[in-house]
Chain A
């Protein structure tokens, strides 16, 4: 590659680029961050003030009632713990599934590969629906069992394709070849070469799985039958109870407006409570796997 002159037309100096980049990202940051700030402010405010547009900058009618109502629920802690359990196991399960599917699918010389590919992709588009799936889950004895949250999901085909393509395009092939020439079986290559080099995509898939499991309440509700409720389900229960409460009140003792207010507050607060763990965890995951990425590259 010929040496490029730093000041050639069309290229900016590094410093000027920095300024532009920072300026752009700062602007984007502000536009994105403001509504987040707004939600936090709203969770501490009187909802009627929120809807009247009084909380654009600071809380109005400051109140902790929303959070109190959320944390008053006894099963918040157990909900949290169950969520951690399900998310951890689920993520490990999902990522393993993704990898053991994507790697074989990435082998261009695998007989029947196109067929298998179609086999998986069809499930992305066609599905039997809730009731048949439930009946099958029941038949396999998983109702009420934690594994009903993971097994029926099988392989997340969309993600699997992403991982497969990553294996095909982003793993340096000279390393793979070298390993095979050394006499390693494909499996061994997989374990000692491909996986370590795929840390970035593994991190991404881990995050995707984590978030999906963390937020899921419907599967838990349908298959677990009320036991072992994860956090989103607990929070949803709180919200439903609150709306039930306000519906009653309108008939009997008045106070509909008051209770409706509480319901609205709970909406904001429970959402923050549900999202916070994920928001906290992600930067750590990212940091950890970035390190993995670095070490992988150095090996190359």
Chain B
């Protein structure tokens, strides 16, 4: 049965390919008019609210003053980029941002997949529902509260972790602990939520057939679940690669102390801390552009690799 659906997929691609070559361009456009009609509103909205405002990006090269407006502000070329790269801890910031992203990816990418694989195999429906509900609940806790709890749990004087380990270390001041804290709490908060997208993908009907064939749980996971999840997983991976430089500001800022800056000094917090009222927009736009550039390069690379290895494509 599994093989059959694969076959139909391939044949579908073949049919489409056949269609592609058999008709003229004009004919195909007309044939697809309904599709274009559907796309009309999204395209118009995107142009109005996403593309038109893009003129604002130019302030990355200007010294933006609200009173002079976007086009009236003085042109300063690469000033903000130079400033960013001559920041005292520039290389450290970039390194930390990349490392946090990479490690996050490494650890928190597989976990929702594994979790959803396990959950899918649970046979007690009520228990399954309880597990799912509890697992995604942390997603709703605000970052401020999460960080407040981290402080309390990791407190050297009576914090849970220190009580259990029998030590009295202030983990928030250990640079080596920062990444772990950041990633672990991130997993706690978002793993369950990340499952949602995977749980939607598997057809229980296939299980029945497999069970009749006598497959064990492990084999079911291997032959049914994994292939079903794979496209989504690859897609997620590509999108994560495209977000490498986007280590967000709020959580790091709340957990950062002077003593863990060796690993917690990241770009987003730095730009915020510069807090330069006047240059805030120009400077952060410029740094944002730099981040985007890196992200896009990564995205293209990962997308190319993924499209060669699987059926999934991003663009």
Contact = CB atoms under 8 A, between A and B. Distances in A.
Chain A–chain B contact at Cβ < 8 A: yes
Interface of A: 1, 3-6, 8, 10-14, 17-18, 21-22, 24-25, 28-29, 31-33, 35-36, 38-39, 50-53, 56, 97, 100-101, 103-105, 107-111, 114, 116-121, 123-129, 131-133, 135-137, 140, 151-155, 158, 161-162, 165-166, 169-170, 172-174, 176-177, 185-187, 200-201, 203-204, 207, 211, 267-268, 271, 274-275, 278-279, 282-283, 286-287, 293-294, 297, 300
A45 B55 CA distance: 50
B259 interface: no
B309 interface: no
A288 to B, nearest CB: 13
Contact of B152 (A10, A53, A127): A53
B235 A161 contact: yes
B217 interface: yes
Given A100-B39, A125-B242, 17 more contacts: A17-B121, A17-B218, A22-B124, A32-B134, A36-B134, A36-B138, A109-B19, A109-B20, A109-B28, A127-B56, A128-B55, A165-B312, A204-B200, A211-B139, A268-B145, A274-B140, A278-B140
Contacts of A25: 118-119, 122, 127, 131
B148 to A, nearest CB: 7
Interface string B110-149: 0000010011011110010111111111111110110011
B52 A162 contact: no
A162 B197 contact: yes
Given A111-B28, A126-B292, A283-B133, A18 B314 contact: no
A21 B5 contact: no
A125 B296 contact: yes
B192 A32 contact: yes
A17 B292 CA distance: 46
B158 interface: yes
Instruction: State the majority secondary structure of interface residues on B.
Output: helix
Nearest to B299: A125
A286 B145 contact: no
Interface stretch (B41-49, B80-88, B174-182, B271-279): B41-49
Contact of B127 (A6, A22, A118, A128): A22
Interface string B299-315: 00000000000011011
Contact of A129 (B49, B115, B285, B292): B285
Q: What is the size category of the interface that chain B forms with chain A?
A: 35 or more
Given A162-B197, A174-B8, A200-B201, A38 B149 contact: yes
A271 B295 contact: no
A133 B56 CA distance: 9
Contact of B158 (A6, A53, A162): A53
A158 B239 CA distance: 8
B201 A24 contact: no
Interface in B206-232: 213-219, 228, 231-232
Contact of A50 (B123, B152, B204): B152
A36 B17 CA distance: 52
A24 B134 contact: no
A134 B168 CA distance: 50
A1 B231 contact: no
Contacts of B196: 204, 207
Contacts of B138: 32, 35-36
A3 B216 CA distance: 12
Given A56-B160, A101-B39, A172 B8 contact: yes
A116 B51 contact: no
A10 to B, nearest CB: 7
14 contacts: A11-B219, A17-B121, A17-B218, A35-B149, A109-B20, A119-B46, A127-B53, A132-B54, A155-B45, A161-B235, A169-B9, A204-B196, A274-B140, A286-B129
B205 interface: yes
Nearest to A96: B41
Contact of A279 (B11, B137, B203, B216): B137
Given A18-B123, A104-B35, A200-B201, A140 B48 contact: yes
Contacts of B25: 111
Contact of B53 (A13, A129, A153, A174): A129
A3 B197 contact: no
B67 interface: no
B256 interface: no
B29 interface: yes
Contacts of B186: none
Contacts of B61: none
A192 B74 CA distance: 56
B76 interface: no
B200 A203 contact: yes
Interface in B1-40: 5, 8-9, 11-13, 15-17, 19-20, 25, 28-29, 32, 34-36, 38-39
Nearest to A2: B213
Contacts of B121: 17, 21
Given A18-B123, A56-B160, A155-B45, A128 B38 contact: no
Interface in B52-111: 52-57, 59, 66, 70
